[in-house]
Amino acid sequence: MKNRLSHRLIIPALLFLLFTAPGLVAIFLYKNPKLIPIGTSNKGQLLQSSVKMVPLGDSAKWKLLYWGFDRCEKDCLQQLDKLARIRLSLGRHFYEVETWLLLDADATIPTEEGLNQIKKQNTGFYTLSSKNDALRKTLQLQPKILLVSPNLDLVLSYPVKGSPDDIYKDLKHLLALPGKGSGHSDVS
């Protein structure tokens, strides 16, 4: 008799747990939001700046920028090589992206050998003038890699020592978005 009673209680108890467990987990996660895994897929730091980038090159292309700030020496040239390799690895999206070196107005201009290497990699070169104070403040005084949309919005920022694979994955994802990747939107 006792055995029958326990069997009758086990099934309703299991059904009760089965249907209330999701609700209990939801309440727990609602009260402890830090335990919820973040669902972002981008590896770079998302920039929320309203400051636009100065127009560079073809406006319908994405831009991979190296903000060298004050000079472009050996490390800078290695970073530009890394950006050129990322661009090359994009395959059919190669022509939708440009690479640029961006230096401050007071920066030391690269040597003749450095300029030749920049030209060989098909990388643009631009010096920010002192008129672009808002942009200079946004970029700060440290070298970094930036991803700029065709609309000249600063989208993502990466540390110089960051993984090229992270930049590649983010750029590939952005280029695959309909209406965003090519710089043309369907909305007028």
Higher-pLDDT residue of 1 and 115 is 115
pLDDT in tens, 42-96: 778 887 777 788 888 777 889 999 888 777 888 888 888 999 999 999 999 999 9
Q: What are phi and psi of 44, to 5 degrees?
A: -85, 175
pLDDT at 62: 92
142/71 same-domain check: yes
CATH number assigned to the domain comprising residue 74? 3.40.30.10
Give the domain range for residue 11.
Answer: 2-35
Model confidence pTM above 0.95: no
Residue type, 80: L
Asked if residue 186 has pLDDT above 60, the reply is no
Q: Count H helices, E strands: the chain?
A: 5, 6
50/127 same-domain check: yes
pLDDT in tens, 143-164: 899 998 898 888 899 998 888 9
93/26 same-domain check: no
Q: Which of 126, 77, 76 is nearest to 98 (CA)?
A: 126
- Partnered with residue 124 across adjacent β-strands are 100
pLDDT at 185: 40
72/152 same-domain check: yes
